Amino acid sequence: WYPVHFPEMDEVRDHARYVELVAEYGDRDSVINSGALDMNLGVSNENMESGMSLGAELSSDDLEVIQGFARTIQSIQESKKSTTDYVDAKMQEMAPNLRDLLGGSLGAKIIAHTGGIKRLALLPSSTVQILGAEKALFRHLKTGERPPKHGLIYQHPDVRGSRWWIRGRVSRALAGKISLAVRKDYFSGEYDPAVKEGFQKRLEEITKEHPFPKRIEKSKKKKDKKRKKKKDKFRFKKGDYEY
């Protein structure tokens, strides 16, 4: 809605700054005259330099609604930031190694999912790897579909950003380091930067060792065939027929 009035503002890439400008000034002319749109914000347009815009005019009622909505978004952003900072501080106090490895938010999610840091410390890394993917795991056990490679740890940028053919290996490596980090946090409480460094080193090794995807081997094709048979068998038993 606001870009119709002031399309040049789309060049402001920082969402928080965009909302702040709309909430504070509202009207396009007020934003331009304030000088808030400088070169540091990435706005470089000939029309802007001449104090003009290609946008359409909006009534004062429309601008009032937009400003109110922008203030609401601003309030939500501030609440989110304060909550994130609080969780991060608590994680630094309670689980510094896990926080360093995963970040405060993701580390807290995994602890909450397992029901406590003690329970997480007692889990094997293979279980840690698929935490949050329980439905996919049980579907694999029941119907023979492919097993999940990752659960909540997919939210980690190194897992999410890795290439598809090494994502499983990266997930395994990260799960192993999570188990190590949380055990250090629970049993000793000492911070060890070598945990994160070890994961980064292993990530580099995996990336170098597997630059390209491998061809599908015959054994893997056979496994896929078996899975399909098991799935079809389960469908037949269930009575879900296809014609």
Dump pLDDT digits (tens) for 116-146: 999 999 999 999 999 999 999 999 988 888 8
Predicted confidence band of residue 38 (pLDDT cuts 50, 70, 90): low
Q: For residues 82-110, give the mean pLDDT.
A: 97
Rounded-to-integer distance, Cα 106 and Cα 104, Å: 6
Q: For residues 217-234, give the mean pLDDT.
A: 60
DSSP 14: -
For the cut 80, the answer to whether the pLDDT of residue 41 exceeds it is: no
For the cut 60, the answer to whether the pLDDT of residue 206 exceeds it is: yes
Would you say how long the chain is, in residues?
243
Rounded-to-integer distance, Cα 11 and Cα 15, Å: 10
Per-residue confidence (pLDDT) for residue 36, from 0 to 100? 73
Rounded-to-integer distance, Cα 99 and Cα 84, Å: 12
Distances from the Cα of 144 to the Cαs of 126, 152, 165, 222, 234, in angstroms? Answer: 19, 22, 21, 13, 9
Element (H, E) at 82: helix 60-94
Per-residue confidence (pLDDT) for residue 223, from 0 to 100? 62
Determine what percent of the chain falls in helix, strand and coil, rounding each to the nearest 5.
70, 0, 30
Per-residue confidence (pLDDT) for residue 217, from 0 to 100? 55
Per-residue confidence (pLDDT) for residue 228, from 0 to 100? 64
Q: For residues 158-164, give the mean pLDDT.
A: 95
Distances from the Cα of 87 to the Cαs of 105, 179, 190, in angstroms? Answer: 7, 20, 19
CATH number for the region 95-236 comes to: 1.10.246.90
Rounded-to-integer distance, Cα 208 and Cα 163, Å: 12
Per-residue confidence (pLDDT) for residue 93, from 0 to 100? 95
Number of helices (H) and strands (E) in the chain: give both, helices first.
14, 0
Distances from the Cα of 72 to the Cαs of 27, 64, 77, in angstroms? Answer: 17, 12, 9
Domain boundary assignment for the chain = 2-85, 95-236
Rounded-to-integer distance, Cα 153 and Cα 210, Å: 21
Per-residue confidence (pLDDT) for residue 63, from 0 to 100? 87
**Architecture category of domain 2-85 in CATH:** Orthogonal Bundle (1.10)
Per-residue confidence (pLDDT) for residue 5, from 0 to 100? 81
Residue-wise pLDDT for 163-182, tens only, equals: 999 999 999 999 999 999 99
